[in-house]
Structure 1
Amino acid sequence: MFDQLVAKLPVGICVVDEQYRLQYLNAFFLDRMRPDQRHNYLQQPLISIFPEQAKFLTRRIKSVFVLQHPSFSYWEQRAHIFPFKSSRPITGEETQMYQNMEIVPISGPSSEQKLACIILQDVTAQASYLMAQQELASALKQEHTAQRKLIKKLDSAQSQLIQAEKMASTGQLAAGIAHEINNPIGFVTANLATLKDYSEQLLNLCDALADKLQVTSPSLAQFSAQTMDTYHYELLKEDISPLVDESCEGLNRVRDIVENLKQFALEESTGWQLFNLHETTQQLVKLVGAQYKAPVYKVSCNPPNLQIFCEPASIKQALTNILINAAQSIKCKGFVKIDIRATAQRVSIKVIDSGVGISAENIKKIFDPFFTTKPEGMGQGLGLSVAYTAIEKHKGKIIANSNPGRGTVVEILVPVVHPEQRHECAEPLGGS
């Protein structure tokens, strides 16, 4: 009777041994497996039946056997552990099952046999309800934010239109903060490197002592082996080096982002000056790419390391707004290319994206203040207007062409100005 009860439970029950071989599956599990997986499953490795989750399951089950404590995984952490479907009670619609999983240590028929019981709960209904509530709350929050932004729209417009003049001082502040962040990153990185060396030496010491005891004193060697097993020495030895490496990799990524921010934000002086357009564009791509990861970014410059005489704050503001617009237009996969070319008379900067594109009706309005095709609350329609004003200050112009569904090309054209001409009024450009 007990077996029949377990078989009918509305939760999945799966029992594996220390080699991850299946010892038992209840009907919940069997009914959701493919037909070819249901026959002769006993003594088959669980990870061979579900290879896509092998690494995750192996780590969780191993920790239960080693520590003899339960292990939990909730749908918020990993939504779909097993590739099972869940049917809606009313509509009958099938959707991928959201799952809570608990693994508990149990004993087998023999007191020395260790087993692990995986308990799988279908929480699709609860997860769907919670996500719907979160979406509703997010929508209400966006609507509230949009209303507040609408009230402050005129103030925001003024703030955006003078942003280019403020970028120099703001950049110095950002560079100072980046410098302060780099200090703790530096000593934490150094400490981690030292910690890795110490841990390797400590592990080598333990191995050397164990080898020596094996030769000189079998009794002490047996005690050493039992002690190491008690404190899970093999698990520590396996885990400690990857953990330190992952921490170092994370710190290196933070340091790279901070360094790019520092280099992009900091100006040696304000006003017109020589400005490395190629280098700054590469830094900007790294910063935007850290936030918008969908596109693949590429920068080309001819000649390489091109320097121009300009007001860097305005050029940076224009490039930032145009590049962010390009990145936001790509929802899943695509590319953003920045192609910089210079002649004796002018510099061309093309930002090419493979995003959703802009309709012929809207392409004529994109540089108008407050014009935007983004949902209410997602943008004020000032980014390209500010970019247009910044480039106009350099007697240049911006040209936009787009093919809906295939992408957009925005080209910045500015005349070449030499330092001795900084107080002269450059002639506006002619045709493209």
Structure 2
Amino acid sequence: MDDQPRSAVQAAERVQRGIQGIAGIGATTVNLALFVAFWGQWRVVLVVAGVGVVLALGNGLVLEWLVGKTSRARVEAMRMVLNVAGITLAGIHTGWSVLVWVFVPYNMLWYFGLDPWVRPRMALYLGVITTVALSTGAEPVTAVAFSLIGIFGYLVSEKRGSLLTQKHEELERAHQELQQLHQRALEQERLSSLGLMAASVAHEINNPMSYVTSNVDSLLQDMRDVPDLPGPLKEYVDDVLPATLDGIKQVNAIVSDLRRFSRGDFEGYVSYDFTAEVRTALRIARSQLGHVRVEEALAEVGRVTGRPRQLVQVLVNLLVNAGQATPSGGVVHLGTRREGNQVRVEVRDTGSGMSEETKRHLFEPFFTTKPPGLGTGLGLSVVHGIIKAHGGRIEVESELGKGTCFTLYLPNVPPLPAEKTSGANLLAAGR
């Protein structure tokens, strides 16, 4: 059963349980009035008392116990038979007293739509009682009057119950939306904290790395100036120290990328080297791709206009997602090329793929298929917002068990820039 229908049924169940106590008091009061009206006619009093006890126990205990054992529709059908039998028995013995007729619309007032058969059941209930009453000497006018009260009273009761259920569902939805907003606020705060932490860590690493870079470079230059170096030291000059310096420069590049990537200020459109920014994204995402083989097909795109930091954010999201979706030994492919007045970027993996249902919700904020703690559901909505703000588009191809391919198309020059763009959050990754 879907969540909404289940919620409606549960709400209706709560409403009915809430009014059963009051309904029982009303039935007891009418029975007392019957005792007073027929006091001295002991046979009638005994019948009314017996009917009252059986209906009270049957409606209040036995049938409610059966709700947990069988369907609500079946229980309500048994309740209808029990009440028809009790009312007709009391009606025949009292000569269809007006006080007995009170039970007819009274029972209908607190029956309402818990299942699709409630209206046919109420029509059968009223038809049987009216038929038996008219065939055993009841006044037609009285029968018609109380039948009309029952019909319209039931319709009013049903409408009121429906409105109460609807209001309950609206409150439930509002409560869920508040919970989601609260969760989103927590996620935004966490992402903001991550950005500040990344910027701080990058800054702290940058200072000692500048000393290391300077010292190793100076050592290499000094050793190159020394003539007739021994063989082992000459190997250091030719191979070891240059390789070490290259490694240090890579660390410095990563630190620089992180510092630039974690900045949260507004970024205007500028002309930038597209391929250089793609390589920056690869360096940042490399730690998430160590278990897969990364294929690069980076054609020389040249310079384009846009927001380079946001392009890096898009590619980091897609590459991290691809790495997380791909098992060890799989392949993540990143390709770029120019197509006329636009740039085509392809991020393809050989991972688990996505179902059609997942693809329909792919770019919705806070939608994620990842376990709690591994994804916020913000990443692809951010990616979508950035690409749209650049005047581009995203195409997604995916099949369960066969991997996923994201293809981005970005114009060389975006349309008129917006003052703000959705998707400036840091490191939001989630498929």
Q: Shorter chain as normaliser: what TM range?
A: 0.3 to 0.5
Higher strand share: 1
Normalising by structure 1, report the TM-score: 0.44
Higher helix share: 2
